Amino acid sequence: MKALLMKKGLVPYLEGKELQLKAVEAVKSGLADMILITLQHPPVYTIGRAGGYENLLVPLEELRKIAEVHEVERGGNITFHGPGQIVAYPVVNLNRWEKDVHLFVDRLEEAVIRLLAGYGVRAGRKPEYTGVWVGDEKICAIGIAVKRWITWHGIAFNVNTDLTYFGRIFPCGIREFGVTSLEKLGIKEDPERVREKLIGKFEEVFGVRFEEIDENRLESMAGGLHDE
């Protein structure tokens, strides 16, 4: 597969969404088979197709005072993104990899499990819940969208995220378990170093070697954004 990589810094959520849509256009046109976008977001709560307003622990108006709130196309429920959390959006043409959404999600989880193993952390899955868990606390949320076998949205891995934001919601609609981060686990690490290691794990599990691109190249590949 031809795999491209874009590394961005702190990007507002809707700008990140625009980058994803451009990547979808580029992949749809056949100019790449996979484009991985990695970044962080300012504080934002996103609500997936499974809903989420019923999982607010504070009034919506109060939530909007501390973070943006957006309804999104991915699967899953409500979650939080913020600084100190590595967000990775893999836009992949599953026709060129494996036409198996469950396997794709499994590979996303596997990349994070391998990343954590490198820090000496034993992580795993819960059969009833998507994502990566350390014990009964989720360290990485996963929510994707798939259209014509092209994926978008992705994963959010907590490095040193301010976890108090999660205290205002039932994250992913899960009431019986909590959330964690590398920092909460006693591992102090620069998010940038974590990002580089995560990119390496993506290369391992998907069997690719990334070529880094910038936003200008993505723009030219997309050939102008348009909605269907």
Catalytic residue from among 172, 179, 208, 221: 172
Q: Which two tokens stand for residue 181?
A: 């981060």
- DSSP helix/strand/coil, 86: strand
Which DSSP category does 60 fall into? Answer: H
Amino acid identity of residue 54, one-letter, is E
Q: Is 140 a catalytic residue?
A: no
Q: Is 158 annotated as a binding residue?
A: no
- What is the CA angle 121-126-127, rounded to 5? 145
Q: Is 77 annotated as a binding residue?
A: yes
Whole-angstrom distance, CA of residue 107 vs CA of residue 204: 10
Asked whether 198 and 115 are in contact (CB, 8 A), the reply is yes
Q: Is 79 annotated as a binding residue?
A: yes
E strands along 11-123, which residues? 34-40, 44-47, 68-71, 78-81, 85-92
Q: Is 143 annotated as a binding residue?
A: yes
Q: Is 155 annotated as a binding residue?
A: yes
Q: Is 130 annotated as a binding residue?
A: no
Asked whether 145 and 75 are in contact (CB, 8 A), the reply is yes
Q: Is 55 annotated as a binding residue?
A: no
Q: Is 16 annotated as a binding residue?
A: no
Q: Is 78 annotated as a binding residue?
A: yes
Residue numbers in the known binding site are 74-81, 141-143, 154-156
Active-site positions read 172
Residue numbers in the known binding site for substrate are 74-81, 141-143, 154-156
